Amino acid sequence: MDQQSQLLEAATDFAHYPGSHSDDSATQFLNRFPLPLIINALRTQFDVPGLETTLVLCLERLFKTKFGASLIPQYMSFVQVGLQADSQAVRSLACKTVTCLVENLDNSYTVAAHLIKEFNIYPLLLDCLINGDEEVAAGAINAIQKLASFPEGMGIIFPSSKGGDTDLGVIASQCSSLGRVRVLALVVKLFSVSMSAASAIHSLNLLSLLEAEIRSTDDTLATLSVFELLYELAEVEHGSEFLSKTSLFQLLSSIISDDSKDSFLRSRAMMISGRLLSKEITYSFIDEPCAKTVISSIDERLQSLDPSNRDEFETALESLGQIGSSVRGATLLLSGTLPAARHVIYAAFDRQGPEKHGRQLAALHALGNISGETRSENFIKLDAEAEENLLRLLYETASRSSKLTPSGLFLSVLQQESEIRIAGYRMISGLVSSPRCLMEICSRQEIINIVTDPSTETTKIGMEARYNCCKQIHKSLTQSSGVSADPTFAGIKTKLEEAVGMGPYLHKKRVEAQPIVMTADRFYNEI
For residues 116-136, average pLDDT? 95
Confidence of residue 165 (pLDDT cuts 50, 70, 90): confident
What H or E segment, with its residue span, contains residue 179?
Answer: helix 177-193
CA angle 199, 205, 206 (to 5 degrees): 90
- How distant, in Å, are the alpha carbons of 115, 136, 214, 219 from that of 182? 25, 11, 14, 16
What is the helix (H) or strand (E) element at residue 153, kind and residue range? helix 151-157
Length of the chain: 527
Domain boundaries, the chain: 426-504
Compute CA 10 distance to the chain's CA centroid, rounded to the nearest angstrom.
42
pTM over 0.85: no
Mean pLDDT, residues 416-421 taken together: 93
pLDDT in tens, 258-288: 988 888 899 999 999 999 999 998 998 888 8
Structure confidence by residue, pLDDT tens digits, 285-325: 888 899 999 999 999 999 998 777 889 999 999 999 999 99
Helix ranges, 194-287 (H): 195-203, 208-216, 220-235, 239-243, 248-257, 263-277
Q: How confident is the model at residue 518 (pLDDT cuts 50, 70, 90)?
A: low
Exposure string of 202-216, with b = 16+ CB inside 10 Å and e = fewer, is: bebebbebbbbbbee
pLDDT given at position 344: 96
Interatomic CA distance for residues 433 and 426, integer angstroms? 12
Whether 432 contacts 476, CB under 8 Å: yes
As a whole number of angstroms, the distance between CA 271 and CA 231 comes to: 8
- Nearest CA to 303 among 256, 348, 350, 261? 256
Name the residue with higher pLDDT: 220 or 116.
Answer: 116
User: What stretches of 480-520 show up as alpha helix (H) in DSSP?
Assistant: 481-484, 490-502
pLDDT in tens, 349-395: 987 655 678 899 999 999 999 999 998 877 778 889 999 999 999 99
Residues 136 and 143: their CA atoms lie apart, in Å, by 11
* Mean pLDDT of the 30-54 span: 85
Average pLDDT of the chain to the nearest whole number: 88
Q: To the nearest 5 percent, what fractions of the chain are helix, strand and coil?
A: 70, 0, 30
pLDDT given for residue 485 in this prediction? 66
